[in-house]
Structure 1
Amino acid sequence: MKLLKSLNLRGWLLVGTAVCGVVLAGAVATFGSSARAGAALEERKLPMKFNWVACEPNCRGWVSAVGIITADTPKNFEEFVRGRQLGGATVVLDSSGGSVNDAIALGRRFRNLGLLTTVGMSVQNRGGQGARPAVASEAYCESMCVFLLLAGKKRYVPEAAHVRVHQIWMGDRADDARAASYNAQDLMIVERDIGRLAKYTFDMGGAGDLLSLALNVPPWEDLHELDAAELKLTNLVTTDLVADVLPDVNVSAPAMAELAPKAQDRVSEQPEHPQASSSSTKTAEALVPTGTAPATTSQK
């Protein structure tokens, strides 16, 4: 009897240890996912960075573009391109937007290089030596990032991705757009940049529906997320096959709700053309109105 009780006690201890192990493993996994999501959100608050994600020998690599588009972004991209053969490569976007004119300049450069575009977050799979990178599809392409997406010769948007649009506005008055004061010069700047954006949209093969959807959402309202039908209506999507832009790459959709944007971004001001007069150095900006306070790292 004593032996039986001893065995029963030992069995319960083993079961309890196993349960604790499972619980701890789940907690570690959840913590790891949250940590990666938090890190991704912090990157999206910073100026856009470009990284080459190598995926050899079984698949070609891609360009990871994460962060907000600032006055320095086109120049930084040129530095990134130098010495690389990027013709026909894919750009994986995770961005909350930024400067209108700088996004236009960068988008035209994408098209000149014949780049392909998609939305996602580059992740390195764990698994020791030889583990291949992958793309997590639950990422965000908002505001002017949508027009960067449009620059791809081929464009794919995974089901789990969030593509969201809204109006461009004066960046220094977006916090309380309805209460701010505006003059004729401000109106000229906004209308000028809308004209530039319209020309760019049609040059890239986009539809007027994209402009219509974006310009119907004022900065004091939530961004409008494009559904599958609208992605096709606006010509943002040109293919339903991920293999057309990321052949032989694992594309997954992990649960990463923490990636949702939680702050407004501020971007630098710069004219589309260097020869523009000093009175044109201001630009309307595409911001991300989320109803929360501006980020403390915002740029003016």
Structure 2
Amino acid sequence: MKTYDTTRILRWVFGLQLVFAAVLLSGDLIRVLPQIAFPSSAPELTQPLGPGDQTRRYDPSDITPRQARPGSRPIPVTEDMPSRLLFEYVSWNNEPTVTITGQIGAGDADRFLDFLKDNQTTPVQAYLNSPGGSVQDALAIGREMRRLEMNSAMTASDICLSACPYLLAAGMNRTVEDGALVGVHQHFFGENTALPAFLAVEDIQRGQGEVMAYLDDMGIDPLIMQHALVTPPDEIYLLTPEELERYGLVGSTAEVAPE
């Protein structure tokens, strides 16, 4: 009868775990080291835009909400941007309204569905103020907004960056006041750095394809992605009012997107 050296097997398993840990750590370092060694020299987010000068530094954890003018927003802007989405229900201009504020975290799509279930009246509009976050959750929230035929809106003090524009795109009617900041950049789609490179690339391509299909469903020109694909994650490309109109992020959509 064959016997096994338990100690040797445990050492082998432990060694294998160390190898995987090293691969994961090295993948993360490879991803962030260029940003540490060569930080963005772009202007701060709040610096005025100029012709051809639309790229700004981006750090979602270091964004301070801008002060709103009195009476311009359903709920006053807080001093700190929430670390995950905060949903608040109000009646605004005699219409049931939800304000969506903060970073988009993993699981926020499920939290949004729970929020809707807890409120007997379905909001007809959503006010957005978010630096972005989880792409998959943003797409899921956006599809639910479109299914309910909600409108999306931003006041002059609001921001909608990174994955947040997918929420803006979901509105049947989309309104962005002058002064609001809407920006796009490259996304990570949760690819596993321990996978072979070709599988990671495949995961990224699949994610980009899903985003482009979503934009098409929402009636948004997928060419908006040309700005996102050339802007690194530590920077953000701010869209001009003309670009917002050209790509369809302001205006209306005649039909509800297919489920």
**Which residue of the other structure, out of 211, 217, 223, is the alignment partner of 1:209?**
223
Structure-2 separation of matches of 1:90 and 1:54: 10
Structure-2 separation of matches of 1:225 and 1:76: 29
**Which residue of the other structure, out of 156, 160, 172, is the alignment partner of 2:179?**
160
**Which residue of the other structure, out of 207, 223, 226, is the alignment partner of 1:193?**
207
How many Å apart are 1:172 and its aligned residue? 8.7
**Which residue of the other structure, out of 206, 227, 230, is the alignment partner of 2:240?**
227
Tell me the amino acid that sits aligned with residue 120 of structure 2.
Answer: R
Q: For residue 291 of structure 1, what is the aligned residue in structure 2?
A: none
1:42 aligns with 2:61: no
Which structure 1 segments of 5+ residues have no match?
Answer: 1-32, 121-136, 174-180, 240-300
| Contact kept in structure 2, 1:170 and 1:186, CA below 8 Å | no
- CA deviations 1:254-285 (Å, max 9, x no partner) are xxxxxxxxxxxxxxxxxxxxxxxxxxxxxxxx
How many Å apart are 1:59 and its aligned residue? 2.4
SS of the aligned residue for 2:251 comes to coil
* Equivalent residue runs for 1:131-150 within 5 Å: 137-150=156-169
| Contact kept in structure 1, 2:132 and 2:162, CA below 8 Å | yes
How many Å apart are 1:189 and its aligned residue? 1.4
Tell me the amino acid that sits aligned with residue 183 of structure 2.
Answer: R
**Which residue of the other structure, out of 106, 121, 137, is the alignment partner of 1:102?**
137
Judged with a 3 Å threshold, the aligned counterparts in structure 2 of structure 1 residues 170 and 151 are, in CA distance, closer, same or farther, namely closer
- CA deviations 1:84-136 (Å, max 9, x no partner) are 2215x11000011111111111110000000000124xxxxxxxxxxxxxxxx
Q: For residue 85 of structure 1, what is the aligned residue in structure 2?
A: 121
SS of the aligned residue for 1:147 comes to helix
Structure-2 separation of matches of 1:170 and 1:196: 11
Answer 1 or 2: higher relative contact order, Cα 8 Å, separation at least 6. 1
Which structure 2 segments of 5+ residues have no match?
Answer: 1-66, 71-76, 253-259
- CA deviations 1:171-220 (Å, max 9, x no partner) are 699xxxxxxx9822221111110000010000000002211221221224
**Which residue of the other structure, out of 83, 88, 110, is the alignment partner of 1:51?**
88
SS of the aligned residue for 1:163 comes to strand
Structure-2 separation of matches of 1:101 and 1:61: 26
Judged with a 3 Å threshold, the aligned counterparts in structure 2 of structure 1 residues 59 and 207 are, in CA distance, closer, same or farther, namely same
SS of the aligned residue for 1:54 comes to strand
| Contact kept in structure 2, 1:209 and 1:233, CA below 8 Å | no
Structure-2 separation of matches of 1:72 and 1:217: 26
RMSD: 2.7
Structure-2 separation of matches of 1:115 and 1:235: 16
Structure-2 separation of matches of 1:147 and 1:205: 11
Structure-2 separation of matches of 1:169 and 1:78: 24
Q: For residue 250 of structure 2, what is the aligned residue in structure 1?
A: 237
Larger CA Rg, structure 1 vs 2: 1
How many Å apart are 1:157 and its aligned residue? 0.4
Structure-1 separation of matches of 2:105 and 2:189: 15
| Contact kept in structure 1, 2:100 and 2:129, CA below 8 Å | yes
Judged with a 3 Å threshold, the aligned counterparts in structure 2 of structure 1 residues 226 and 80 are, in CA distance, closer, same or farther, namely same
Structure-2 separation of matches of 1:84 and 1:110: 16
Tell me the amino acid that sits aligned with residue 199 of structure 1.
Answer: A
Q: For residue 118 of structure 1, what is the aligned residue in structure 2?
A: 153
